[in-house]
Amino acid sequence: MGNSTSRLYSALAQTLSSSPPSLAEEYLEQPVDVQPLDPEELLKECEEVLHSRPPRLRRSFVFPPRDVPSQHHSIRVMQWNILAQALGEGKDSFVQCPLEALNWAERKYLILEEILMYRPDVLCLQEVDHYFDTFQPILTSLGYHSSFYPKPWSPCLDVEHNNGPDGCALFFNRDRFELVDSINIRLVAMMLKTNQVAIAQTLRCKESGRLFCVAVTHLKARSGWEVFRCAQGLDLLQNLQSITEGMGIPLLICGDFNAEPTEDVYRRFANSSLNLNSAYKLLSHDGQSEPPYTTWKIRPSGESCHTLDYIWYSQHAFSVDSVLVFPTEEEIGPNRLPSYNYPSDHLSLVCDFSFNDEPNRLL
């Protein structure tokens, strides 16, 4: 790591040294005073640290046709379950992934490199367990507003030498948007508070003056919990309905839903009165099918290839300008994910959205 590590953390040293000894108080958003970082310099540093690793997955954008070009700059949104460090090393049992490939000293650079490669305006992450010592200070210094909401009973806490609970994190470009309102949601299912959470923030676009609401969530995992997931999804929809009701505020909803498109929670989002559509359906020939996978891993129980991650958008208010394609099976490789050249078992989703000129049109 050598000089690269010292360069990166010299800009963050004051913040990290002044962090409270216990981060478990309320996990409220805290102001971070850090020196600005040059994203190009940080990207070069990532490449230097990772020079001994194989080439990273290279992906391209496709551009769905649209009738009328937008008069505004696109909003780039990234959705990504980055894999909690404690779970990757201690619980998830990726049998084809060498433990040294998950070493946080280098894996954090792989994550940062992916983010810097696409420079999202809005970044939605799940399984974040290094928020305060890595993502908050670094992304704040890159010009992002940062928010975090941990799971109440994070499985990371069961792992020895953990870095605290994992949770959802939401970041947005301060130069492009201003925060109007923010709410942390502990999802309810069957009248019970659950271990899954969401963040919903209403933003104002400085260029156009338009409002929109962005939400990030991570629903309950594992087979057998389909009814529970659906209840969580309905609770999230009801919360978002309350936030946007009467104001016509469009939505961007990102998350690891842990649900295939065949599950009821997916159908509830697709048929919601909020008029949502899934952006990644635009990769299909008919525009009606999700990709064959967003996560692909090998565990002791066997190979696991599923579509679980989505970016939903209000189709009356937004158009999709571009979608980042997924790597092929050959590009991912026989050992699947995570790997030496990709830091998570989930692939990132990246889309460019622009406001429609008729935002009140519902169909």
Interatomic CA distance for residues 363 and 347, integer angstroms: 31
Q: What percent of the chain has pLDDT over 90?
A: 81
The pLDDT value recorded for residue 16 is 44
Residue 195 has pLDDT above 60, yes or no: yes
Among the listed residues 79, 345, 77, the one whose alpha carbon sits nearest the alpha carbon of residue 221: 345
d(CA 254, CA 199): 10
Report the 3 state secondary structure along the chain. CHHHHHHHHHCCHHHHHCCCCCCCCCCCCCCCCCCCCCHHHHHHHHHHHCCCCCCCCCCCEECCCCCCCCCCCCEEEEEEECCCHHHHHHCCCCCCCCHHHHCHHHHHHHHHHHHHHHCCCEEEEEEECCHHHHHHHHHHHCCEEEEEEECCCCHHHHCCCCCCCCEEEEEEECCCEEEEEEEEEEEEECCEEEEEEEEEEEEEECCCCCEEEEEEEECCCCCCCHHHHHHHHHHHHHHHHHHHCCCCCCEEEEEECCCCCCCHHHHHHHCCCCCEEEHHHHHCCCCCCCCCCCEEEEECCEEEEECCEEEEEECCCEEEEEEECCCCHHHHCCCCCCECCECCCECCEEEEEEECCCCCCCC
* Mean pLDDT to the nearest integer, 112-130: 98
The 75-81 sheet, strands edge to edge: 61-62, 318-324, 349-355, 75-81, 122-128, 167-173, 144-150
Residue 23 has pLDDT above 80, yes or no: no
> Using one digit for the tens of pLDDT, what is the confidence trace for 145-155?
999 999 999 99
Instruction: Reply yes or no on whether the pLDDT at 1 is more than 80.
Output: no
Tens of pLDDT, residues 268-320: 999 999 999 999 999 999 889 999 999 999 999 999 999 999 999 999 999 99
Query: d(Cα 191, Cα 223) in Å, to the nearest integer?
Result: 21
3 has a pLDDT exceeding 60: no
Lowest mean pLDDT across 10-24, 99-113, 118-132, 276-290: 10-24
Average pLDDT over residues 325-338: 97
Superfamily of domain 2-355: Endonuclease/exonuclease/phosphatase (3.60.10.10)
Tell me the backbone φ, ψ of residue 45, rounded to 5 degrees: -65, -40
Give pLDDT, residue 200: 98
| First-to-final CA distance of the chain | 53
| pLDDT at residue 264 tops 90 | yes
What pLDDT is stored for residue 19 in this prediction?
44
Q: Is the pLDDT of residue 18 over 60?
A: no
How far apart CA 341 and CA 53 sit, in angstroms, is: 6
Share of the chain above pLDDT 70, in %: 88
Res. 8 pLDDT band, cuts 50 70 90: low
Identify the residue whose tokens are 């923010």: 182
Answer yes or no: is pLDDT of 67 > 80.
no
Q: Cα Rg for the chain, rounded, in angstroms?
A: 19
**Which of 173, 124, 57, 108 lies closest to 309, judged by CA?**
124
Residue 5 has pLDDT above 60, yes or no: no
Q: How far is CA 187 from CA 184, 280, 310, 340, in A?
A: 9, 25, 18, 35
Output the pLDDT for position 13. Answer: 42
Query: What's residue 247's pLDDT?
Result: 76
128, 121, 4, 103: which is closest to 53 by C-alpha? 103
Query: pLDDT at position 65, please?
Result: 81
Phi–psi pair at 194, nearest 5 degrees? -110, 180
**Is a pLDDT exceeding 70 seen at residue 4?**
no
- pLDDT at site 357: 81
Lowest mean pLDDT of 88-102, 145-159, 178-192, name the range. 88-102
Of the listed ranges 4-8, 58-62, 121-125, 350-354, the one predicted with least confidence: 4-8
How many Å apart are CA 143 and CA 121, to the nearest integer?
10
10-24, 55-69, 147-161: least confident range:
10-24
- In tens, the pLDDT along 244-263 reads 886 789 999 999 999 999 99
In this prediction, residue 96 has a pLDDT band, given cuts at 50, 70 and 90, of very high
User: Which range (14-23, 69-78, 238-247, 291-300) has the least confidence?
Assistant: 14-23
Angle 337-341-347 (CA atoms, 0-180°, nearest 5)? 45
Average confidence score pLDDT of the chain: 90
Strand order across the 251-256 sheet: 177-189, 192-205, 211-218, 251-256, 309-314, 276-278
Q: Which pLDDT does position 14 carry in this prediction? A: 41
